[in-house]
Amino acid sequence: MASKWIWIAVVLLLTGLVIFFITPPADHEQTMQRTDLPWLVTVEPDGSSRVFDLHIGTSTLKEAIAKFGNPEAVALYIRESGKRDLETYFGTVSMGPLKAKIILNLLVDEKRLDAFEANAIKQEFSAEGHKKLLLDSEDKQSLGDARIAGITYIPTYKGLEADFFRERFGQPAAWKVEDEENVQWFYPDIGLTLLLSAEGREILQYRMPRDFVMPEGVESESTGKGSGDSPAGQE
């Protein structure tokens, strides 16, 4: 009987060795340390920043397309104040295990914006009431050299807890409670504004730290008001 168990043990050992040697190694691309995760922000000496392997203020739309794929749309927004913003929308982008929608703000001179506005093929209005102009194909194709002014990152997964972001970005320098469901966290040192929502999706907006302007009405540890906690349902 003892010899029978010895043979079983030997067979199991040999089977394990065969499996070990013939099983291919894990995909290196999936195990290597990534440099394009949303909490990996590098601030440059000139006050600009890098995130998602892109240099805000220097990298171009062409470089972003190489990273994220082709955009779904390009639109020129005209705010009530008259300010114009040129935005490029990407569909669901995957970076490692994370998926998100991405919007780029582009740096374009006023003369080109005038031409884009005149050549727009369609006019709509955003949910906030801003005028939205869709660019014609020729104008869109001319934007490859446009530099990135900012990046908006919207995770596809809703309901990420405040601690998820606090563990990766640290305690915010200041915050602003918008209503019972929404609060903004501000990280001026890295140019990040984070919107936490109890019902909707979280939104991360990256700008160059040197251009970061703290909005009015914020609270912080120094003001002695609030705690920076997220809205109901986030904690």
For 24-171, where are the alpha helices, taking DSSP H only?
28-31, 61-68, 110-119, 137-141, 162-169
Q: Of the candidates 134, 72, 82, which has an alpha carbon nearest to the alpha carbon of residue 103?
A: 72
Rounded distance between C-alpha atoms, residue 72 and residue 63, angstroms: 16
- For residue range 32-70, what is the model confidence (pLDDT) as tens digits? 478 889 999 999 999 999 999 999 999 999 999 999 999
- For residue range 101-149, what is the model confidence (pLDDT) as tens digits? 999 999 999 999 999 999 999 998 877 778 999 999 999 999 999 999 9
Q: Where are the domains of the chain?
A: 33-211
Please report the pLDDT score of residue 44 as a whole number. Answer: 96
Q: Are strands 182-187 and 174-177 parallel, antiparallel or unpaired?
A: antiparallel
pLDDT at residue 188 tops 60: yes
Structure tokens at 94: 């995957």
Q: Of the candidates 152, 189, 154, 160, which has an alpha carbon nearest to the alpha carbon of residue 172?
A: 189
Please report the pLDDT score of residue 127 as a whole number. Answer: 74
pTM: 0.80
Structure tokens at 67: 């990273």
Q: Are strands 203-207 and 73-78 parallel, antiparallel or unpaired?
A: unpaired
Tokens 């990407």 correspond to 90
